[in-house]
């Protein structure tokens, strides 16, 4: 998927924004800010330009197992679509394969692909879960995200210790309380 970004236009808009905020875009510290912001926003929203099928490529491997596979503590960084402020935290992904397992890094790459968009944490959690299921035909999928939102910490209610937790469970993770509980207990298990 080709994504065309007009960096010159973004830089011009950032310069106008700085002026509207009462700043002088010609002062030393701000001279390159419009360029930096344009580059930063392109990177932070680069998930729009990623094709899920190309990302996974051929990193689904035949493996007859019905054991739960979990990758936990995947760091995620995203931008809240309401305020364009960051939210960040940990993503835990579990699935029960149906003859195909992911290359381990592909789950982290899927999480990044969806996180690098303007997001709501609730949507991000579901997008990751459905992508895992749809890509692998997994019997069940569970995704949990625990994140801190700067839009809630720096402004508004200013609650610095708040953490938002979202989960999406599909297939056997939704149908079976035992499977769901196994997932939750494994992602909360402390490392030794």
pLDDT tens digits along 107-135: 999 999 999 999 999 999 999 999 999 99
Q: How far apart are CA 123 and CA 36, in angstroms?
A: 28
Residues 92-114 have a mean pLDDT of 96
Q: Could you give the count of Cα atoms lying within 13 Å of 187 in the half-sphere of its Cβ?
A: 24
Orientation of helix 121-136 relative to helix 104-115, angle to 10°? 140
Residue 102 to residue 6: CA distance in whole angstroms = 35
CA distance 75 to 115: 10
The continuous run of DSSP H or E covering 8 comes out as helix 7-20
CA-based torsion, 106, 110, 111, 115: positive or negative = positive
Q: What percent of the chain has pLDDT above 90?
A: 86
List, in order of start, the domains of the chain with CATH numbers: 7-44 (1.10.286.10), 57-187 (3.30.1130.10)
Averaged pLDDT, 91-95: 98
The answer on pLDDT for 15 being more than 90 is: yes
Pairwise CA distance, residues 75 & 111, whole Å? 9
The per-residue pLDDT for 142 is 98
Q: What is the pLDDT of residue 64?
A: 87
Contact 19, 84 (CB under 8 A): no
Cα 8 from chain centroid (whole Å): 27
**Rounded Cα gap, residues 121 and 167, in angstroms:** 10
Q: pLDDT tens, 129-164?
A: 999 999 999 999 999 999 999 999 998 898 889 999
The confidence score (pLDDT) of residue 190 equals 73
| Strand, coil or helix: 139 | coil
């Amino acid at each position: 998927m080709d994504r065309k970004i007009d960096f010159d236009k973004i830089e011009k808009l950032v310069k106008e924004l700085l002026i509207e905020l009462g700043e002088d875009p010609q002062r030393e510290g701000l001279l390159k800010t419009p360029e930096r912001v344009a580059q930063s926003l392109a990177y932070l929203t680069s998930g729009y330009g990623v094709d899920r099928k190309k990302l996974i490529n051929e990193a689904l491997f035949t493996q007859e197992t019905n054991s739960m596979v979990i990758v936990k503590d995947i760091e995620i960084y995203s931008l809240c679509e309401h305020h364009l402020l960051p939210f960040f935290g940990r993503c835990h992904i579990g699935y029960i394969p149906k003859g195909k397992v992911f290359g381990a890094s592909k789950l982290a790459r899927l999480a990044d692909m969806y996180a690098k968009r303007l997001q709501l944490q609730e949507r991000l959690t579901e997008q990751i879960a459905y992508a895992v299921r749809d890509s692998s035909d997994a019997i069940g999928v569970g995704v949990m995200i625990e994140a801190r939102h700067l839009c809630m910490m720096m402004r508004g209610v200013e609650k610095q210790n708040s953490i938002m937790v979202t989960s999406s469970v599909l297939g056997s993770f939704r149908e079976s309380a035992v499977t769901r509980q196994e997932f939750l207990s494994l992602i909360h298990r402390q490392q030794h």
